[in-house]
Amino acid sequence: MIASSLHSPNVVPLVGFCIDSEEGLFLVYKYVSGGSLERHLHGRKKGGKGSSTLPWSVRYKVAIGIAEAIAYLHNGTERCVVHRDIKPSNILLSSKKTPKLCDFGLATWTSAPSVPFLCKTVKGTFGYLAPEYFQHGKVSDKTDVYAFGVVLLELITGRKPIETKRSPGEENLVLWAKPYLQKGKGAIEELLDPQLKCNLRYSNQIGRMIEAAAVCVTTEESRRPGIREIIAILKGEEEPVFSKRRKSSFLGNGCVIDCYSQLQQSNSEMKSHLALAMLGVSEFEDDDYLYVC
């Protein structure tokens, strides 16, 4: 079991397990009192009032902590571990707002970082699936890097990755954000969560997170950096990455597929989410490659 072999300050530790004759297997994890990042970013309090805004200092702390958790999975264990389901609901916060990655139900070992393998059944959450994984079932450490980029965009903007009630062109977070991402620090005003009241002392951190998010959601897996490079960007240990080559690569080839025309015969929520998740992907492959469960 992967979870039992993990030991990192930013990973929720497995305490043990129990087996019930009727209910089956139960895994017991250490209690993390602060709740999920999902609740802090997107949750609602009782009575319908919005939850208190997560301060920028906490958002930045979460970004660094989860990046380090991913780096541990990819490079700090005997075998590279790909989580495959990195998202705010799988990030818990301690009472001191220390982030901890949890839920390793979809995690898998790989032979080495950046060495992909094919998985016939694609599992995960709409909006966080890397294009090469969603279309072809191709799994590597870059699968987690893409999902982490979406989480960074959520931390920056306060938006969810897929929101069907938004205006046309704004439903898919990655697709909406990409024109702004190429501006780097110059896009703070357009991208920053309107609930945040950030002063100038955080502008460099915000700019670096925008830079990191941009390269994480690069369409081409081969041009997506590893998590160690992302950490360097977030901490300001590396020069800005927006060379002409990088700018063109993270924006993809400019081809956007509108899948609504292919799915218009069904109005189900699943089809709607599928269409939005596929927006911005350069190709739409045969159904033989697409298994979502």
Instruction: Give the per-residue pLDDT at 107.
Output: 93
User: Mapped to the 3 state alphabet, what secondary structure does 184-249 carry?
Assistant: HHHHHHHHCCCCCCCCHHHHHHHHHHHHHHHHHCCCCHHHCCCHHHHHHHHCCCCCCCCCHHHHHH
Q: What is the pTM of this model?
A: 0.81
pLDDT tens for the chain, 293 residues long, are 788 889 999 999 999 989 988 888 888 889 999 999 999 999 865 445 556 789 999 999 999 999 999 999 999 998 999 999 999 999 999 999 999 999 999 999 987 777 788 988 889 998 999 999 999 999 999 999 999 999 999 999 999 999 999 999 899 999 999 999 988 888 899 999 999 976 778 999 999 999 999 999 999 999 999 999 999 999 998 665 554 445 444 444 433 333 323 333 334 444 555 555 555 544 433 333 333 33
Instruction: Give the per-residue pLDDT at 99.
Output: 98
Matching CATH number, 34-289, of 1.10.10.10, 1.10.760.10, 3.40.50.2020, 1.10.510.10:
1.10.510.10
Q: Which residues contact 175 (CB under 8 A, 6 or more apart)?
A: 169, 256, 279, 280
Catalytic annotation, pick one of 85, 103, 141, 193: 85
> Is 258 designated active site?
no
